[in-house]
Structure 1
Amino acid sequence: MDGQLWVLLVPLFFIGALFGSFFNVVGIRVPRGQSVVHPRSSCGSCHQTLGPVDLIPIFGWLLRKGKCHYCGTPISGVYMLGELAGGVLFAALPLLFPDHLEELWIAYPLVSVLLILTVSDLKYMLLPNKIIYPAMLLFTLLRLLNHPLPLWHYALGFVLGGGILISVSLIATWMGKPAMGFGDIRLMALIGLVIGVKLVLLCVFLSALLGSVIGLALIGSGKLSRSTPIPYGPFIAVGSLVSYCYGDPLVSWYLDLITL
Structure 2
Amino acid sequence: MGWEAWSYTVFLFIVGALFGSFFNVVGLRVPKGLSVVTPRSSCGSCGRQLNAIDLIPIFGWLIRKGRCHTCNASISPVYMVGELVGGLLFAALPFMVSLHELWIAYPLVSVLLILTVSDLAYMLLPNKIIYPAMLLFTGLRLFVHPLPIWQYALGFMVGGGTLILISLVATWMGKPAMGFGDIRLMALVGLVMGIKLVLLCIFLSALLGSVIGVALIASGKLDRRSPIPYGPFIAVAGLVCFCFGDPLMTWYMDLILWQ
> What's the TM-score once normalised by structure 1's chain length?
0.97
Give the aligned partner of residue 111 of structure 1: 109
Give the aligned partner of residue 182 of structure 2: 184
Match of 1:214, as an amino acid?
Answer: I
CA distance in 2, matches of 1:2, 1:132: 39
Give the aligned partner of residue 166 of structure 1: 164
Give the aligned partner of residue 28 of structure 2: 28
Structure 1 residues 103-142: aligned runs within 5 Å: 103-142=101-140
CA distance in 1, matches of 2:182, 2:70: 38
Paired residue total = 258
Structure 1 residues 1-260: aligned runs within 5 Å: 4-97=4-97, 100-260=98-258
Match of 2:21, as an amino acid?
Answer: S
Shift of 1:73: 1.1
CA distance in 2, matches of 1:25, 1:67: 18
CA distance in 1, matches of 2:70, 2:214: 39
CA distance in 2, matches of 1:187, 1:2: 39
Shift of 1:4: 4.0
CA distance in 2, matches of 1:48, 1:194: 41
Shift of 1:7: 2.6
Match of 2:52, as an amino acid?
Answer: P
Match of 2:48, as an amino acid?
Answer: Q
When residues 54 and 212 of structure 1 are mapped into structure 2, their CA distance, relative to the original with a 3 A threshold, is: same
Report SS of the residue matched to 2:251.
helix
The ranges of structure 1 where at least 4 consecutive aligned residues each deviate by more than 3 angstroms after the TM superposition are 1-6
CA distance in 2, matches of 1:105, 1:66: 35
CA distance in 1, matches of 2:179, 2:195: 21
CA distance in 1, matches of 2:43, 2:139: 39
CA distance in 2, matches of 1:2, 1:164: 46
CA distance in 2, matches of 1:131, 1:96: 25
* Structure 1 residues 42-99: Cα deviation after superposition (integer angstroms, max 9, x where no partner): 01111110111000000001111111111111111111110001000000011112xx
Give structure 1 stretches of 5+ with no counterpart. Answer: none
CA distance in 2, matches of 1:250, 1:4: 31
Give structure 2 stretches of 5+ with no counterpart. Answer: none
